[in-house]
């Protein structure tokens, strides 16, 4: 069986201001079949909230791919960061890939990472696993790059990536079918590996706290150099990374800042933040998503599909620019449970386009709308707030131009509501709004002239404020 004769390099770059720490690492480059395992055995166990990065490389004349990467704690899930990257000029071809598991759950003993390959025929493979503390628990991956040689060369180079953040871990892995790998410029070797007639090296360097271009490199010297090579890099950000005006630079997994997530606009960023929240026992995202104070224009509809998520805008203005779109949808399918989420401190605006909806409550069982302004949804067919099949808090078609009926959650005896027309009060108009009737599930409010109490129609854009208590 052909032995794996490679030169290998793993690269770590830690920003000067970061709290990132290489807790423990280990490797196994003696794998001649699938699966290939490596044990992190420097510490008694891994630590909850840390990240495990895995670099694996394999060489085979047959077509192999990584079927999965599993952890001895089944709660930890690995995803691919970059790759597979193939060097077909090597004989047999050389392939590498980087994986990571974020915000891990601690192992009960020494942690074991298992890489299982899919394919048939002979294979030679190696795996490196590193546990890191201090990395972001929600969306740790910042950027990636990968490169391979078109002809034999003496410098392995992943190519550059432009990180979005400053305090970073640059994790890289490289392999060559000839020569001995040495640390790239500015890198310091921390661990070396003898692999067949080649070698491998792990190294790190301190990077000033900035987001200048990053790249992973390594040199090749000795017998068999230059060689055909492949080089990969995954850049991770630390747990205290911030953006300008960030409201919570160090946060738990349940409290996140939307502006620290990828997306073309604030809508996409919020949606990505929702997707990154942890799941509760009902398998629903839960937590609070904050927005840095400011004014945002967006076209990506915001969808909060869990009753356990609260969107706090911190008094920001969100202006929907797309027509035939909904700014924010709160969706709670009736198969789930009532949660305690909602929207607060938000100023949601339309731009006058047709068929815009400000807030849509879709099949909601329980939601809290607090300190919310919805305005300028005045284009043709536009609606400020739409209750779509909402189960407990809805509009009612029994209203008129001078009176409205609001369907309420069931109360023991009825509802007592204080109602006022903010628009009329500001304009010193001589009419007022008050509750005229209620049942255990409805409240009727009516607009009346101040002098005689005669019903009178509301203005087209009047804003009503209600505060209700059950009795």
Q: Which of 8-17, 142-151, 298-307, 438-447 is modeled with the greatest confidence?
A: 298-307
Q: pLDDT grade, residue 183 (50/70/90)?
A: confident
pLDDT at site 18: 46
**pLDDT: which is higher, 206 or 461:** 461
Among residues 358, 387, 371, 323, the alpha carbon closest in space to that of 461 is found at 358
pLDDT at site 203: 58
pLDDT at site 440: 84
Quote the CA–CA distance of 156 and 253 in Å, as a whole number: 37
pLDDT at site 13: 47
Q: Residue ranges of the domains in the chain?
A: 7-237, 242-391, 396-471
Q: pLDDT grade, residue 1 (50/70/90)?
A: very low
pLDDT at site 469: 77
pLDDT of 381 over the 70 cut: yes
Share of the chain above pLDDT 70, in %: 77
Please say whether the beta carbons of 258 and 270 come within 8 A. Answer: yes
Let me know the angle formed at the C-alpha of 229 by 226 and 230, rounded to the nearest 5 degrees: 160
Say whether the peptide bond before residue 35 is cis (omega within 30 degrees of 0).
yes
Share of the chain above pLDDT 90, in %: 17
Quote the CA–CA distance of 187 and 218 in Å, as a whole number: 9
Quote the CA–CA distance of 409 and 393 in Å, as a whole number: 6
Quote the CA–CA distance of 433 and 417 in Å, as a whole number: 11
Q: pLDDT grade, residue 366 (50/70/90)?
A: low
Quote the CA–CA distance of 13 and 356 in Å, as a whole number: 47
Please say whether the beta carbons of 36 and 125 come within 8 A. Answer: yes
| 3 state SS of 190 | strand
pLDDT at site 300: 95
* Sheet containing strand 217-221, strands side by side: 155-157, 217-221, 180-183
pLDDT at site 97: 92
Overall pTM surpassing 0.85 (yes/no) = no
């Amino acid at each position: 069986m052909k032995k794996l004769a490679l030169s290998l390099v793993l690269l770590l770059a830690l920003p000067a201001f970061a709290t990132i720490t290489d807790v423990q690492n280990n490797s196994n480059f003696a794998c001649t079949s699938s699966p290939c395992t490596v044990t992190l055995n420097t510490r008694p166990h891994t630590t909850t909230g840390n990240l495990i990065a895995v670099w694996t490389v394999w060489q085979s004349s047959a077509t192999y791919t990584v079927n999965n990467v599993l952890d001895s704690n089944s709660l930890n899930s690995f995803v691919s960061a970059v790759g597979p990257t193939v060097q077909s000029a090597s004989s047999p071809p050389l392939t590498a890939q980087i994986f990571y598991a974020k915000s891990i759950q601690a192992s009960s003993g020494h942690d074991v990472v298992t890489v299982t390959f899919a394919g048939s025929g002979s294979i030679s493979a190696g795996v490196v696993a590193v546990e890191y503390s201090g990395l972001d628990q929600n969306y740790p991956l910042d950027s990636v790059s990968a490169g391979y040689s078109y002809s034999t060369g003496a410098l392995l180079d992943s190519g550059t990536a432009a990180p979005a953040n400053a305090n970073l871990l640059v994790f890289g892995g490289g392999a060559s079918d000839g020569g001995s790998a040495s640390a790239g410029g500015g890198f310091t070797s921390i661990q070396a590996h003898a692999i067949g007639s080649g070698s491998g090296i792990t190294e790190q360097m301190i990077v000033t706290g900035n987001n200048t271009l990053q790249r992973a490199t390594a040199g090749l010297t000795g017998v068999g150099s230059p060689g055909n090579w492949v080089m990969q890099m995954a850049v991770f950000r630390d747990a205290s990374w911030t953006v300008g005006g960030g409201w919570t630079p160090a946060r738990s997994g349940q409290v996140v800042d939307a502006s620290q997530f990828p997306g073309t606009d604030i809508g996409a960023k919020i949606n990505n933040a929702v997707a990154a929240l942890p799941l509760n026992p009902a398998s629903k995202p839960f937590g609070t998503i904050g927005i840095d104070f400011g004014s945002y224009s967006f076209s990506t509809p915001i969808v909060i599909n869990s009753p356990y998520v609260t969107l706090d805008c911190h008094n920001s203005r969100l202006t929907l620019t797309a027509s035939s779109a909904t700014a924010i949808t709160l969706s709670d399918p009736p198969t789930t449970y009532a949660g305690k989420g909602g929207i607060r401190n938000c100023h949601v605006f339309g731009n006058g386009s047709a068929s815009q909806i400000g807030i849509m409550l879709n099949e909601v069982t329980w939601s809290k709308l607090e300190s919310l302004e919805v305005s300028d949804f005045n284009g043709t067919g536009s609606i400020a707030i739409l209750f779509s099949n909402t189960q407990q808090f809805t509009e009612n078609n029994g209203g008129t131009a001078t009176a409205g009926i609001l369907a309420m959650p069931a109360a023991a005896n009825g509802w007592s509501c204080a109602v006022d027309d903010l628009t009329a009060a500001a304009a010193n108009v001589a009419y007022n709004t008050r509750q005229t009737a209620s049942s255990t599930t409805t409240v009727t409010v009516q607009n009346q002239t101040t002098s005689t109490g005669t019903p009178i129609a509301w203005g087209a854009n009047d804003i009503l404020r209600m505060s209700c208590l059950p009795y």
